[in-house]
Structure 1
Amino acid sequence: MKQKMASRRVKILVAKLGLDGHDRGALVLCRAFRDAGMEVIYSGLFATPSRIAQIAEDEDVDAIALSLLNGAHNTLFPRVVKELKKKGIKDVLVLGGGVIPEEDKKGLEKGGIDGVFGPGTPLPTIIDYITKGVSKLRKI
């Protein structure tokens, strides 16, 4: 069961899904999250949705930042949400990022992705979104 202490640092899983071998952006996020005081776990390349859900459960994360640049976001992001639900994980903020067309964002959000961020999104914007979102989840 997730420990809901306001004083605990945000623990975030940064995950690279599928056959996307480009991780520069994900590594930039890892560093920015760490510099913002978060505890960061990185999945490494080529993670499956079930592997991401397992890491989230094992590490008791507060948030998951999914990164995908190969265009499979409409398929793989919802699969992560489905795997989390199978495990009964409901109190995790799930974010998606990468090269995601504007017209896909609403569908991803309806499918359980809490926030979608594209290239050029300022890092403080993403960090603020995570901090506020996790804070709300901890009050539930």
Structure 2
Amino acid sequence: MHNASDRPIRVLVGKVGLDGHDRGARIIATALRDAGMEVIYTGLRQTPEMVVNAALQEDVDAIGISILSGAHMTVFPKIIALMKEKGMDDVLLTGGGIIPDEDREKLQAMGVGELFPPGTPTSDIADYIRNWVRAHRDF
């Protein structure tokens, strides 16, 4: 018998909008898998609604959005609003990409978690997700 805390952390990795570059998202997905997490990768050109619905269906602990298109001030607020609407208060929304510090601070004030710049060691991202989930998810 396993208790729930033995189950792997489940993370949905998504790309929202017309940003056609998913190399970074794939690298992160692989790194999180290698760190023992279950990763659901939604692929390219997702809408915020598609990402949040997939996260609900998959019962994930965290959503990671990779964004390089510059649309982060549209995408993250939309996803956080949908998550709140659906009562996903104990799910981490994190991500990465090219996000200016000032925007990152605004997004974090809205409830978005840590946002990682390109080149962040994948182990740092895995540790952050693991620590957040331990602290916020009730198994």
**TM-score class, shorter:** over 0.9
Kept after mapping to 2: 8 A contact 1:9/1:38:
yes
TM-score, scaled to structure 2: 0.94
Tell me the CA shift for residue 138 of structure 1: 2.2
Unaligned runs of 5+ in 1: none
Aligned to 1:22: 21
Q: CA separation in 1, counterparts of 2:126 and 2:38? A: 13
Moved over 2 A (4+): none
Contact (CA 8 Å) 1:6, 1:135: kept in 2 or not?
A: no
State whether residues 91 and 137 of structure 2, in contact with CA within 8 Å, keep that contact through their aligned partners in structure 1. Answer: no
Amino acid at match of 1:55: A
Aligned to 1:118: 117
Aligned to 2:33: 34
Percent identity for Structure 1 against Structure 2? 50
Give CA-to-partner distance per residue, 1:37-75, whole Å, 9 cap, x none: 000000110111111110010000000001110100011
2:88: which partner in 1?
A: 89
**Matched ranges for 1:48-87 at <5 A:** 48-87=47-86
Aligned residues: 137
Structure 2, unaligned runs of 5 or more = none
With normalisation by structure 1, the TM-score equals 0.93
Q: CA RMSD in A?
A: 1.3
One-letter code of the match for 1:5? Answer: A
Could you list the per-position Cα deviations for residues 81-121 of structure 1 after superposition, in whole angstroms to 9, with x for gaps in the alignment? Answer: 11111111111011021111122110010112111101111
